[in-house]
Amino acid sequence: MPPSPSPDALDATFWDKTSQKYAQSPIADQAGYERTLKKTLSLLTPAFSVLELGCGTGGTAISLAPSVKRFLATDLSGGMIDIAKGKTDAAIPGLEFRVGTAEALAAAKEKEQFTAVVAYNYLHLVRDMPTTLKSIHSLLAPGGLFISKTVCIREMTFGGVLGSVGIPVMRMVGLAPFCASFGVEDLKSRIQEAGFEIVEVEYHGTKGRDARPFVVARKVGGA
């Protein structure tokens, strides 16, 4: 009997299957997304080396990469990365697309370090947030920035029901990936416990109640 697929493999398969549909879907809150990009750009300088986690089909990377020295955009899904690489406007100096995760990069024999790590709509999709955050911490140079925007399901209307019933049922029938349920204070605490100080928290949504805090955190301690 063959071994069961790993959780990462299951997640990658889900996103591979949905990559084409994802690529064709419009951004739900374009104004909010543009505000996030503008704020992120204000935190970066041309000397920065940036890692993006969960880059999807590369739209954010293409927007941010021209403003920094190096930009490594990664995603668990090879399907997503293939689409990102195929975009004609992705020929930007210093921009690289690669299949990868924070954990895999942190465990690499020749581990790279970055001035900033960017992760939009990522942390709620990881299965072991403490390990992911510790990996991100290790990938940052001293004083480096972790910039994230994360869905906090518990802050949403009917979020408790969605997190405990709705998403698990959707996962069972292949209509949703793994998705963790937590609140804003939970998120902030976990980031701090991983060795970061919270610099600022903003809300960029322009449609209804925004349950995705934009968090800027700075690495403290460690090499």
pLDDT digits (tens, 9 = 90+) for 196-210: 999 999 999 987 667
Q: pLDDT: is 147 or 179 the higher one?
A: 147
Instruction: Provide the domain count of the chain.
Output: 1
Lowest mean pLDDT among 40-49, 65-74, 106-115, 177-186: 177-186
Give the pLDDT confidence score for residue 163 in this predicted structure. Answer: 42
Poorest-pLDDT segment among 35-49, 60-74, 143-157, 167-181: 167-181
114-124 tens-digit pLDDT: 999 999 999 99
Give the mean pLDDT of the chain: 87
Predicted local distance difference test score (pLDDT) of residue 211: 77
96 within some domain: yes
Q: Let me know if residue 1 belongs to a domain.
A: no
* 70 pLDDT more than 90: yes
- Model pLDDT, residue 187: 96
pLDDT at residue 203, rounded to an integer:
94
Which residues constitute the domain of residue 141?
Answer: 7-219
Per residue, the 3-state secondary structure of the chain, as one string, reads CCCCCCHHHHHHHHHHHHHHHHHHCCCCCHHHHHHHHHHHHHHCCCCCEEEEECCCCCHHHHHHHHHCCEEEEEECCHHHHHHHHHCHHHCCCCEEEEECCHHHHHHCCCCCCEEEEEEECCHHHCCCHHHHHHHHHHHEEEEEEEEEECCCHHHCCCHHHHHHHHHHHHHHCCCCCCCCCCCHHHHHHHHHHCCEEEEEEEECCCCCCCCCEEEEEEECCCC
Look at residue 131 and tell me if it is in a domain: yes
Average pLDDT over residues 29-50: 96
Q: What is the CATH number of the domain that holds 131?
A: 3.40.50.150
What pLDDT shows up at residue 4? 60
Q: In terms of Cα–Cα distance, which of 56, 66, 67, 71 is closest to 89?
A: 66
pLDDT at 43: 98
The residue with greater pLDDT, 214 or 167, is 214
Q: Considering the domain boundaries, does residue 36 fall inside one?
A: yes
Position 173 pLDDT exceeds 70: no
- Within a domain: 2: no
Q: What is the pLDDT of residue 164?
A: 43
Residue recorded with tokens 């790279």: 112
Least confidently predicted of 71-75, 91-95, 216-220: 91-95
Give 217 or 23, the one with higher predicted confidence. 217
Mean pLDDT over 10-18 rounds to 86
d(CA 9, CA 135): 19
